[in-house]
Every structure is written in structure tokens, then in C-alpha cells.
Structure 1
């Protein structure tokens, strides 16, 4: 079971946002964004910020760090087994929220970079309808396999994609290709790009807040 940070709303939670960090970070990475969202009391959402396991990462010369999967340069199927393991771990977190009384239709998966890969990978295969996905500075992993494995329960799922125009880590064209694949597969994609690199900016946070309020 993944270790997590939980941020409870002022009122009893009726929704959950499971937010996955990027490579080399941890659950604390997006902790400060939660109050910045300024969600109204009418949307009492619990934020769950899991820590990825530590593993050796090829692109960083085999250094051990928190990662959702091994990142291998120029590989279309990098860390395939790791990604599937991470998907199962996020499914466990979804199940825990359901056991706590949260309707799965009020559970959002969010993620930055590697975390966004796992959020998309999990939501599109999940067999119970979720609320939506927030995919930040990320991409769709193995579109061909996803098209074969996606579950009808989450067809047309609302997906917010936000990306930096000058991202040197995940070029915006990779995100744009992911967007086109997701639209072709029938998902409800909202696209936003910003004058930034591999990061998150204030206007993006404001858009995320609007998206959460819309789908919850």
C-alpha cells in the first residue's frame, strides 16, 4: 500500500482528488496547491497525495528516487511493468475512497509529468466511472495499447490537459499528439497551454479549480 498525505476539507468529504507527483518528487510536491485552488465549501474534497515507491531510474544513471516507473530515453514502452504496478496501486486508493463512502463518480485522478501518465493510464482502464482526469505536463502512454484496453465505463471522461509551450522535458508536441489520440478515442478533452517550461503556473491552477468545480 502506498504511503499518502491526506488533506481533509473543512466539512465532511463528499469527493476525493488523488494527485500524483512527478519523477524524483514526493506527495508534498503539490501540497501547497490545494489551498490555492480555493474550492468552495459546497465542494468538500479530500486530497490524497501518494508517495511513489523508490526505484532505479535509467535516465538518471540508475539513481534511486521516487518514480512511478523507470524512465528510459527513446523508448515507447518504458517501464511497462512498473506502470501496470502503479495503476494497480492507484486502483487500491480508489477502492479505499469508495470504502470511505465516496462515490467513484466524485473521484478525480490528477497527476504531473510521470504522475499524469499514471492518472491517464489508470482512469481509461478503470471499470467504474470516475469524475475526470487532470493531466499536467504529461502524455498518453502507448496509445495503441490504450485503445485496445480502455474501458467503456470511462468513455467520454472529462480530461483537462495543461502543458508548457517551452517544456524541455516533455515537448508540447508529445502532449498535442496525446490530445489528438484521446479525442479520437472519444474522450472529452479540455486543452490549455501556457508560456512556461516543465512546471505549473497560477493561471493553470485557476483553470484546474474551474475544472474541478465543473465536474464535481
Structure 2
């Protein structure tokens, strides 16, 4: 796993795909939770998807995980996340039609917001232990109907209601969205290790593709 700080961009972790350098590979863009904010990118490596990627053999996708400063949210830094994504796609052998957006907790709120605002940029969205931000209007949520979505939540999560999440799932499905909702019966809020290490989800990351590539 590499760490980079670039002027004008959020600091980030990244890893390079294991695939043929001449063949563009997918990218997974990960947005961390509230407790991982700060100025030390090594914090992100302690658990969840960043740790899985760091401890695995080279994976068939590029991985990008920016870090927020203390006290900020992904909704506030939406334009910076997209700028970082554009920069990364322009400088790497990435297939822009195969970009997956995922978030945990605070990062899930960011993923919902950014996914709804830039629906033509993503081939899939993975939401783990997080709610839809209140600022997201129903018509904006409906914009996600074109993006396959995976939602994961622990049944014992004291921060989130299964019923509230189910309402979001129902809203998306009524709008024509493709949504899979997985409840981990023994899971609490911190289910990221279990979710992201699942081989089925890892395969899902590389099996999604937008119908048309996005010019960047």
C-alpha cells in the first residue's frame, strides 16, 4: 500500500491493480468513517477495506482511500473527492466505466451523497453501517436507480435502524434500482472487516461495469 500527499488534494492511500498494465482495471474508491479522520493515513490501515487490501496479495483492482481532516465530512469535501478521482484516473491505467464507490459509517453518508450527485461516474455503490444523509432529497436518491447497490448492516447496530434502512431499500427498488440488503445477524456497527473480506463482495467489485465509459 502506498501513501501520498499532493498539494491541493486530500491525502490518500492507494494500491495498484495486479492486472496487465496494458489493460485498464477497475478502481474501488473508499470513504472512511468518523473515527479515522485526522492527519495520519496509517490509521486507515488498522481495519476494514484498507487493511484487507494492504494484507492481501495484489488485487485485480486499483484502490484509493482519501482521508478527511478532523471535524470534516465527505459531503463537505465532495468536489475534492471527485477531483482526486479525476486525477487518479488520468494518471493510471484505470477503466473509468468500472469505478466502485464504497463507504463505512460517515463514509457511507458520503458515498450516498456523492453517488447521487455523480451517478454517471460509478459502476456500483457499497454502503456499510451508514445512513443516507438528511440533505439528500428523495428525487436525488432516485438518481441512484442506475447504479447496482450493496448495503450491509449489523442487526445489533445501536446507531442505525434496520427499519430506516429498509425504507431506503424499498424507495430505491420502487424507483427501479437494483439493491441487495444484507443484515449480519450478530453484527454491531463495526462489521467492516467481515464485510470487505467476503470473497463474494470482492468478486462483485470487479464484475460491475457502466454501460458507457465516462470521458475524463
Alpha-carbon separation, structure 2, partners of 1:111 and 1:22 = 7
Gaps of 5+ in 1: 56-66, 70-82
Q: State the TM-score, normalized to the length of structure 1.
A: 0.74
The answer to which structure, 1 or 2, has the higher relative contact order (CA under 8 A, 6+ apart) is 2
Q: Give the C-alpha shift of residue 148 in structure 1.
A: 4.4
Aligned to 1:96: 87
Alpha-carbon separation, structure 1, partners of 2:95 and 2:141 = 24
Alpha-carbon separation, structure 1, partners of 2:140 and 2:194 = 36
SS at match of 2:131: coil
Deviations 1:8-47 (A, max 9, x none): 23343612111111111143343212267778x6xx3111
Aligned 1:26-175 pairs, distance under 5 A: 26=37, 27-28=44-45, 29-30=47-48, 31-34=50-53, 44-55=60-71, 67-68=72-73, 83=75, 85-100=76-91, 101-126=93-118, 128-142=120-134, 145-148=137-140, 151=143, 155-175=145-165
Aligned to 1:79: none
Q: State the TM-score, normalized to the length of structure 2.
A: 0.74
Number of aligned residue pairs: 186
Q: Give the C-alpha shift of residue 179 in structure 1.
A: 1.4
Aligned to 1:14: 25
Name the stretch that deviates more: 199-208 or 118-127.
199-208
Aligned to 2:3: none
SS at match of 1:179: helix
Tell me if the contact between 2:98 and 2:206 (Cα under 8 Å) persists in the aligned partners. no
SS at match of 1:110: strand
Runs of 4+ residues deviating >4 angstroms: 35-39, 148-151
Tell me if the contact between 1:125 and 1:150 (Cα under 8 Å) persists in the aligned partners. no
Tell me if the contact between 1:164 and 1:193 (Cα under 8 Å) persists in the aligned partners. yes
Gaps of 5+ in 2: 1-8, 38-43, 210-216
